[in-house]
């Protein structure tokens, strides 16, 4: 397989980013030829001999959107549009996965599909609007798996201010945590614990209503 690949094509074949390829070339780990216009071209047999003798595996780009509740469907559609426009602008063919469920829920159908695709090696890129759209807690663990599987993670809005929908989403997750712990405390048959938990719930719900 002596076809010359662009840096984007080579990166997709290897499941890494274009930046990684440039870093490897600078370190002398791989070599690239140059076109008359000065653009990099790679021969797969030179940079990854083990792949040159295999049928090419197309690694997909997955775009993931999530909200916590049915009344946030408008925000879910907004996330989808942002992901679609961003991926299209990059020229990426992609699969859009959307979930409706708490960021504390690790058993959502879309999330499980996403994780299975990453683990089986057929995902080359994961695109999110925000980091916490993946999971409220535990996203770093998923990102570590992505790194081990050479999956590029693209977060469109890094460090952007949170929106009303995201604040509301966080409130849903806080209420879920409270519900879990309250169930455990209720088992202790403590009237004091019940009063504390109910008070916290009331504060969170009032905050949501004011927003």
Q: What pLDDT digit, counting tens, does each position of 8-47 carry?
A: 888 877 777 888 888 888 888 888 888 888 888 888 777 7
Question: Of the residues 68, 69, 102, 190, which is catalytic?
Answer: 68
How far is residue 114's CA from residue 102's CA, in Å, rounded to a whole number? Answer: 16
Phi first, then psi: give them for residue 124, nearest 5 degrees: -110, -15
- Above 80 in pLDDT, residue 131? yes
Q: What is the CA radius of gyration of the chain?
A: 22
Distances (CA, A) of 98 to 86, 112, 169: 16, 11, 15
8 A C-beta contact, residue 100 and residue 69: yes
Q: How many residues are recorded in the chain?
A: 211
> Which CATH superfamily does the domain covering 60-155 fall into?
Resolvase, N-terminal catalytic domain (3.40.50.1390)
The four Cα atoms 196, 199, 204, 206 give a dihedral, to 10 degrees, of: 180
Average pLDDT, the chain: 76
Q: Which CATH architecture has domain 4-52?
A: Orthogonal Bundle (1.10)
Active site annotation includes 68 = yes
Q: What is the pLDDT of residue 47?
A: 74
Where in the chain are the domains?
4-52, 60-155, 164-210
Each residue's pLDDT tens digit, 66-109? 988 888 889 999 999 999 999 999 889 999 999 988 756 778 89
Whole-angstrom distance, CA of residue 57 vs CA of residue 67 = 32
CA 50 remoteness from chain centre: 28
pLDDT band at 187 (very low <50, low <70, confident <90, very high): low
CB within 8 Å of 62: residues ≥ 6 apart = 94, 95, 97, 114, 117, 123, 125, 126, 127
């Amino acid at each position: 397989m002596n076809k010359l690949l662009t840096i984007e094509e080579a990166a997709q074949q290897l499941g890494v980013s274009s930046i990684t390829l440039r870093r490897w070339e600078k370190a002398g780990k791989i070599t690239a030829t140059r076109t008359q216009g000065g653009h990099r071209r790679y021969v797969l047999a030179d940079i990854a001999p083990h792949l040159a003798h295999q049928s090419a595996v197309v690694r997909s780009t997955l775009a993931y959107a999530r909200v916590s509740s049915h009344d946030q469907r408008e925000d879910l559609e907004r996330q989808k549009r942002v992901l679609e426009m961003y991926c299209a602008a990059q020229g990426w063919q992609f699969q859009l996965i959307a979930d409706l469920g708490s960021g504390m829920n690790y058993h959502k159908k879309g999330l499980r599909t996403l994780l299975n695709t990453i683990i089986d090696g057929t995902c080359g890129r994961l695109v999110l609007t925000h980091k916490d759209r993946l999971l409220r807690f535990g996203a770093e663990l998923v990102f570590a798996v992505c790194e081990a599987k050479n999956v590029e993670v693209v977060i469109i809005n890094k460090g952007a201010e949170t929106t009303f929908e995201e604040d509301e989403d966080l409130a849903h997750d806080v209420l879920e945590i409270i519900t879990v712990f309250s169930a455990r405390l209720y088992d202790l048959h403590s009237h004091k614990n019940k009063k504390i938990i109910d008070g916290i719930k009331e504060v969170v719900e009032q905050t949501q209503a004011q927003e």
